[in-house]
Amino acid sequence: MLTIGQLAAYAGVTVRAVRHYHQVGLLPEPDRDASGYRRYGATAVVSLIKIRTLANAGVPLSEIGRLLEADGPTFVDAIGRIERRLRDEVERLETSRKQIAQLAVGDRLLLPAEVTHYLDRLREIGVSRRILEGERDGWILIAARWPDRVREWMPAKLAELDDPQVVRLYRLLSAIFDGDADDCSRLPEVADIMVGLAEQAEAAGRLEFGEVGDDNLLFDLVDLLAVESDPRARRLHQLMRERGWNGWNRMERLTASYD
């Protein structure tokens, strides 16, 4: 007859595990002998080895008791179901592992490669981390809404970075929004640059958004994102309107009746 320590050692588990199996009803707990110790026989050893084997194979403890009492065909059928469930779990974990691995490369988990390349180009021209994060979050909203169109837009967006005024705009925004939170003194210059770029785009026929232009929810969310990031975005929007233009993501010339 074995003590609980000897039983655990023989089966390759801990004493704590044996006691847990007692608590959950998987392994019968023998009465104490005259000396006050619990003694285990060969049947207990066999049962514990079976429990350990099934547990190590990934079978939930809640199902092991039923398997220990099952006949041959029932056991095989139950193991088959467990095996399929474990296989599905392995596939789910593998998918999660790949997603976690993608997190190591940052934006690539959430955005198409073309957009992350654009963000990399912004870094190269000296755009600040805060402005980059705003750009990234805006593109996340856009890509979620129009996943098939985003890739089409990126060549034009990349080409814009060859324009010194666009580069000037991004660097100026970086300096403003990374500086004193109450400083609005350079916002008029930002508005002037944006109006100039809008007029160039209008002249070249590049302000046509097609069906995307009718997606008010998208543009409202992107504008709101800017305001939530920094309240001065409202002041910039006001300055744009004073110059005859509405918005900055969907640039629209205001009618002459606006005052």
Does the predicted TM-score (pTM) go above 0.75? no
Beta strands in the chain (DSSP E): 245-246, 252-253
Domain shared by 150 and 210, yes or no = yes
Domain count for the chain: 2
Q: What are phi and psi of 186, to 5 degrees?
A: -100, 0
Domain final residue, candidates 78, 103, 128: 103
pLDDT single digits (tens) 17-57: 999 999 999 999 988 888 888 899 999 998 999 899 888 88
Write down the pLDDT at residue 32. 85
In a domain, 222, yes or no: yes
Domain shared by 118 and 227, yes or no = yes
Q: Give me the CATH number covering residue 11.
A: 1.10.1660.10
Write down the pLDDT at residue 259. 43
Domain final residue, candidates 87, 103, 119: 103
Which residues span the domain enclosing 121? 109-253
Write down the pLDDT at residue 100. 63
| Neighbouring-strand partners of residue 40 | 2
Domain shared by 16 and 82, yes or no = yes
- CA-only gyration radius of the chain, Å: 33
Task: Report, as ranges of residue numbers, the positions in the chain whose pLDDT lies below 70.
Answer: 98-109, 207, 209, 256-259
Domain final residue, candidates 76, 103, 130: 103
In a domain, 259, yes or no: no
Any idea which residue has 């179901």 for tokens?
A: 81
Write down the pLDDT at residue 250. 81
Domain shared by 94 and 19, yes or no = yes
Domain shared by 12 and 71, yes or no = yes
Write down the pLDDT at residue 258. 43
Write down the pLDDT at residue 240. 92
Residue type, 44: A
Domain shared by 10 and 52, yes or no = yes
In a domain, 33, yes or no: yes
